[in-house]
Amino acid sequence: MENNNAQNQSGSYNVSDNPTPASSSTQTEPSFSSSIVAGASSPSVPPPPSPDERVAIRTMSSDLQSVRETGGQSPQSQIINAPELSKPTSDVVSSVPISSTPPPIFSQQPTTPQPEKDFQQQPIQPSSFAPSVDGGPVSFSDNGQPFVENTKGSFIKTLVWIIVGIMIAGGLGFGAYYLITSLSQSPSLPSDTQNGELPITSSQQAQEDGAVSTSTVVQALTHLSVILTPTDTHTLTITSTTDSNSVITAIASTSLPVLSVGSVRDVSLVDAGGKVIESSVVLPSYFPSFGSALAALVDRDFTTWIYYDKTGGAKLGFVFRLKANTPFEQASLSVGQYIENNTQDIARLFITPTTTPPTITFKDGAVGDQKTKVRFAIYNTKQGNVFEYGWMTGTAGDHYLVLATSYNQMVDILNRMIANPAIIVPTVSTSSTSTVQ
């Protein structure tokens, strides 16, 4: 036993430099070169390279990748493995026994060295939105190259959007201005609406106004003569109110039958429908030159009468009341100019046809016990055709325009109006003092 142990111990120390090949039954333990780190657990795991075989390089792609990974800090070099100068042979062994200590843990998986052509650095593919140098996103194409945006097209799009925004803002501003203006100028609600009642529309108001107007016309044109006790009354129906000659002829016919001298026939004029004829129909028929203008100054109702004079027979006369709130001085001056400047129209008042003299002169006169001032013009003395007009003022301040075709007729109508309790004449004023030459 001792000899064998000694032999084994001596055999472990007496190893020749050139050992003889062992028999087929003897297995030789594998040895590793000193360049391989001891403690590899498996022949399939390649040993890590030595510090001399690791190289630090920097490329544009690696810098971009480093900046992206470090969050914008300074770029770091990339550590790669240098290629082996020669391929290791399988017969190189080491006499160093395998260490029993566990191998160290590396943070990076070692790779098997490859030939130099296989270790050519591949470009690092950055993400689509890697940070740029100025902090903004940088786009890359599929091949890893930075994608340069078309700044011209981007500028045009921005300009278009700015213009559209300005147009929209302008439209909104105009709409707001229009809305505010319309609201500020809108009329306040009528009192009826504020009291809970619905306001009357324009159409309803027109209908109501029409109804009131019709009712007012009927009441206002209910004929009311200024003559209280006429000798005779007569209602004349005029079928054609649009023909002035028909109106004149129809009124002249009321002189028949003839009454005694000094008698008065009060005439009421109605149309074919029985409605009282207004002054706006009669005045233009007798006075084509100024009848419409005169009708605008007087009431629609008026007095028509026939006086039977001892000279010339039947004489026609009219009495018109001046409209309320009409300035008397201005109206009397206008009426005087209308009458005295249109003597041909005045001649149409005479029932007995008369020839207008070449020269008509109006003069001042005084009629009756009250010495009422009038203006008169002589057309035919033999027929007693003398036109006279004047103004009478009632107790209520109403002004009456009297048109007569004889002196005696003017005296009679003034006395009858004085006898009317609704008409008291404190003072009689004339319409004008002008004279037509």
54-103 residue pLDDT tens = 666 778 777 888 777 777 667 777 666 655 444 454 444 444 444 555 55
| Per-residue pLDDT tens digits for 326-385 | 999 999 999 999 999 999 999 999 998 888 888 999 999 999 777 889 999 999 999 999
Band of the pLDDT at 174, cuts 50, 70, 90?
A: confident
The answer to whether residue 347 is domain-embedded is: yes
Residue 262: per-residue pLDDT? 96
Same domain, 278 and 401: yes
pLDDT at 294 over 90: yes
Sheet holding 146-147: strands in order across?
130-131, 137-140, 146-147
* Spatial separation of the C-alpha atoms in residues 63 and 60, rounded to whole Å: 5
E-strand ranges in 272-412 read: 298-309, 313-322, 363-367, 372-380, 385-393, 399-404
* Spatial separation of the C-alpha atoms in residues 149 and 40, rounded to whole Å: 53
Which one-letter DSSP state was computed for residue 202?
H
Which one-letter DSSP state was computed for residue 51?
G
* Spatial separation of the C-alpha atoms in residues 411 and 413, rounded to whole Å: 6
Residue 319: per-residue pLDDT? 98
The answer to whether residue 284 is domain-embedded is: yes
Closest by alpha carbon to 390, among 406, 405, 402, 377?
A: 402
The answer to whether residue 93 is domain-embedded is: yes
Which one-letter DSSP state was computed for residue 216?
H
The answer to whether residue 338 is domain-embedded is: yes
User: What residues have CB less than 8 Å from 300, skipping those under 6 apart?
Assistant: 217, 220, 221, 278, 279, 280
* Spatial separation of the C-alpha atoms in residues 259 and 233, rounded to whole Å: 12
Q: How many domains does the chain have?
A: 2
The answer to whether residue 424 is domain-embedded is: no
Strand partners, 313: 309
Domain end position, chosen among 99, 124, 149: 124
Sheet holding 372-380: strands in order across?
232-238, 264-271, 298-309, 313-322, 399-404, 385-393, 372-380, 363-367
**Whether the bond into 75 is cis, omega within 30 of 0:** no
Q: Where are the alpha helices (DSSP H) in 186-288?
A: 191-194, 202-220, 244-252, 279-286
Which one-letter DSSP state was computed for residue 32?
B
The answer to whether residue 349 is domain-embedded is: yes
Same domain, 406 and 298: yes
Phi, psi of 163 (to 5 degrees): -65, -45
Of the two residues 251 and 34, the one the predictor is more confident about is 251
Confirm whether pTM is higher than 0.75: no
The answer to whether residue 334 is domain-embedded is: yes
Band of the pLDDT at 430, cuts 50, 70, 90?
A: low
Question: H or E element: which one contains 227?
Answer: none
Q: β-strands 372-380, 385-393: how paired?
A: antiparallel
Same domain, 247 and 110: no
Written as six digits, the tokens of 317 are 């006369």
Q: Where are the alpha helices (DSSP H) in 38-150?
A: 60-70
| Per-residue pLDDT tens digits for 228-281 | 999 999 999 999 999 999 999 999 999 999 999 999 999 999 999 999 999 999
Arithmetic mean of pLDDT over the chain: 74
Side chain identity, residue 218: V
Which one-letter DSSP state was computed for residue 65?
H
Closest by alpha carbon to 394, among 417, 369, 411, 373?
A: 417
Residue 307: per-residue pLDDT? 98
The answer to whether residue 232 is domain-embedded is: yes
CB 298 within 8 A of CB 334: no
Domain that holds residue 287: 221-419
* Spatial separation of the C-alpha atoms in residues 243 and 286, rounded to whole Å: 11
How long a stretch of residues is the chain? 437
| Per-residue pLDDT tens digits for 197-226 | 445 555 555 555 554 444 444 455 898 999
pLDDT at 111 over 90: no
